């Protein structure tokens, strides 16, 4: 083999080896089923045994995108998202613990919910699908998909979520109390109480 070809071959081999090593370093650690079962048991009081309906003030975790759940856990731990209970819960968790919990809830089938107020459904649907043009409020469906399923790694699932929880999050985004998503802070900041309540109730029954 001529020297230039030999050098090229060796360079390619080194590059491939480096890529493989980097990929292996980024590969997720195997999930310890016993460890995750132990950790998820501490979540049951607020989120039910499998992350299903639980208390209305707390989010339904079942079927939520693992990437979104992991982001929120990391941000609670880092203090980017403030909630005294959740910050206390995540404080002792390792990153692998959080990855395992996110996968545990995310792999479950999403649950269906129902809207409660038929009088506000039209308003909720209008906001979700068309936004509010005169205040530059974009359609929620543009990011969270027409059926509310969201987009993995980017936007959370909203369909079926407790209306009370969704309403509370929009209110805290609007006030700035929840400050870990600038886009949502800007959007919620343009919405009034009636619109937030209607949208949250509509999302509870969206499927």
What are the residue ranges spanned by the domains of the chain? 33-106, 118-205
**For the chain, percent of residues with pLDDT exceeding 90:** 77
**148 backbone φψ class: left, alpha, beta (φ>0; ψ -120 to 50):** left
Question: How sure is the predictor about 1, in pLDDT bands with cuts at 50, 70 and 90?
Answer: low
For residue range 31-84, list pLDDT tens digits in order: 688 999 899 999 988 998 878 778 899 999 999 999 999 999 999 999 999 999
Residue found by looking up tokens 């509310």 in the block: 148
pLDDT at 30: 61
Contacts of 61 (CB under 8 A, 6+ apart): 43, 47, 51, 69, 105
For residue range 178-201, list pLDDT tens digits in order: 999 999 999 999 999 999 999 999
Cα distances (angstroms) measured from residue 36 to each of 40, 179, 207: 6, 29, 29
- In the predicted model, what is the mean pLDDT of residues 169-180? 98
- Provide the CATH number for the domain formed by 118-205 in this structure: 1.10.760.10
Give the 3-state secondary structure of residue 155.
strand
Fold of 33-106: Cytochrome Bc1 Complex; Chain D, domain 2 (1.10.760)
Residue found by looking up tokens 């030999």 in the block: 6
Which comes out higher in pLDDT, residue 109 or 52? 109
pLDDT at 98 over 90: yes
- Stated pTM of the model: 0.83
């Amino acid at each position: 083999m001529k020297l230039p070809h030999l050098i090229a071959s060796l360079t390619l081999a080194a590059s491939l080896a480096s890529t493989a090593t980097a990929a292996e370093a980024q590969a997720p650690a195997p999930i310890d089923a016993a460890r995750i079962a132990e950790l998820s048991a501490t979540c049951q009081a607020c989120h039910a045994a499998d992350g299903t309906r639980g208390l209305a003030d707390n989010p339904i975790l079942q079927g939520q995108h693992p990437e979104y759940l992991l982001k929120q856990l990391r941000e609670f731990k880092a203090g980017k998202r403030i909630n005294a209970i959740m910050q206390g819960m995540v404080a002792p968790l390792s990153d692998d613990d959080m990855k395992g919990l996110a996968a545990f809830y995310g792999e479950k089938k999403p649950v269906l919910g129902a809207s409660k107020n038929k009088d506000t459904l039209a308003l909720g649907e209008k906001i979700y699908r068309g936004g509010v043009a005169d205040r530059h409020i974009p359609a929620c469906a543009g990011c969270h998909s027409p059926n509310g399923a969201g987009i993995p790694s980017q936007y959370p699932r909203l369909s079926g979520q407790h209306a009370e929880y969704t309403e509370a999050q929009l209110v805290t985004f609007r006030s700035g109390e929840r400050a870990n998503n600038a886009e949502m802070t800007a959007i919620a900041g343009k919405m009034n109480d009636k619109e937030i309540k209607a949208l949250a109730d509509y999302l509870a029954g969206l499927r």
